[in-house]
Amino acid sequence: MTGTGICTGRVAAVTGAGRGLGRAHALALAAEGARVVVNDLGVAPDGAGASAGPAQRVADEIRARGGQAVAHTGDITTTDGAASLVTTALEAFGRLDALVNNAGFLRDRMLVNLGEDDWDAVIRVHLKGHFLPLRHAAAHWRAEAKAGRTPDARIVNTSSGAGLFGSVGQGNYSAAKAGILGLTLVAAAELAPYGVRVNALAPAARTRMTEQTFAATMAAPAAGEFDAMAPENVSPLVVWLSSAESAGVTGRVFEAEAGRITVMEGWRPGPTVDGKSRWTPAEAGAAARELLAAAGEPRPVYGAR
């Protein structure tokens, strides 16, 4: 494998790494010297079915290129599956330095048609599927720190523009991805004493999850042209965030698309007024109108007309 070796000596676990962004991240980490645990349950775009094939193929591809990798096909939305992800890294490579939470699927519906099962399934795979691997990896790193072996560990969580701004027809997905941002901020604060840095990424790329939604704008380019929507464009930032070179960077959210990287600044206080006493409803409404007139316009929800 070729690269600068920015992750040489490190071990990274990537969830949902059998296809799309996860596969690109796993290959890029391996190319930069990381030993990789390739997790994928092998489900369809809506979460149906399961297959060991995708994870094994990516692990085989890494090894064929001269890298080191093992496949993990456990369900990271369960305690046992998430725990075994960490155990697999420790048993195969003796350590764990980075966790890239990427697994997910879609069940898109307008809110009035969104069933409880579709809500629960998407929240489970995205939000719970971030929490459980993070929890088990963090427990390992805390134990290492308490034993006097403070790690230089990294967690990269995967959010979305839908989590930042909302997306019509994706209430479940948008809520899960917004939740991941809150989880990232809390984890960054709680895990800093144990040598763990936690950041989030909102990528835009051509994957199984986006090919229907963005078919017109995410089509493959003509031969020789820059493929702006290739998943591989997002991976260099993931590699850097997983490496020791990202020291001091934590609790941040990045957008990555094509050749563009943006630091997202999130919710910040805008115009404010203090009446020094309780408002009447009419007074509160008048004050709100004045504040809104002084505030910037919010970014439109994706897909809104």
pLDDT tens per residue, range 24-51: 999 999 999 999 999 998 766 655 656 7
Catalytic residue among 160, 174, 235, 246: 160
Residue 302 appears among annotated catalytic residues = no
Residue 159 appears among annotated catalytic residues = no
pLDDT in tens, 287-304: 999 999 999 998 899 898
Q: Is the pLDDT of residue 159 over 90?
A: yes
Catalytic residue among 167, 173, 194, 242: 173
Residue 194 appears among annotated catalytic residues = no
60-74, 107-121, 222-236, range with the lowest pLDDT = 222-236
Catalytic residue among 84, 159, 177, 194: 177
pLDDT average, residue stretch 213-222: 56
Count other Cβ atoms within 10 Å, centred on residue 303: 12
User: What are the C-alpha distances in Å from 115 to residues 40, 108, 112, 122, 260?
Assistant: 26, 10, 8, 11, 36
Higher-confidence residue of 215 and 124: namely 124
pLDDT average, residue stretch 224-250: 92
pLDDT average, residue stretch 265-281: 94
Q: Is the pLDDT of residue 200 over 80?
A: yes
Distance CA 244, CA 240 (A): 8
3-state per-residue secondary structure call for the chain: CCCCCCCCCCEEEECCCCCHHHHHHHHHHHHCCCEEEEECCCCCCCCCCCCCHHHHHHHHHHHHCCCCEEEECCCCCCHHHHHHHHHHHHHHHCCCCEEEECCCCCCCECHHHCCHHHHHHHHHHHHHHHHHHHHHHHHHHHHHHHCCCCCCEEEEEECCHHHHHCECCEHHHHHHHHHHHHHHHHHHHHHHHHCEEEEEEEEECCCCCCCCCCCCCCCCCCCCCCCCCCHHHCHHHHHHHHCHHHCCCCCCEEEEECCEEEEECCCCCCCCCCCCCCCCHHHHHHHHHHHHHHCCCCCCCECCC
pLDDT in tens, 76-90: 999 999 999 999 999
Pick the closest to residue 149 from 158, 140, 157 (CA basis).
140
- Provide the sign of the torsion angle of the four alpha carbons 116, 122, 126, 129, taken in this order: positive
- Which pLDDT band holds residue 4 (cuts at 50, 70, 90)? confident
The domains located in the chain, with CATH, are 11-264 (3.40.50.720)
Which range has highest mean pLDDT (208-212, 224-228, 270-274)? Answer: 270-274
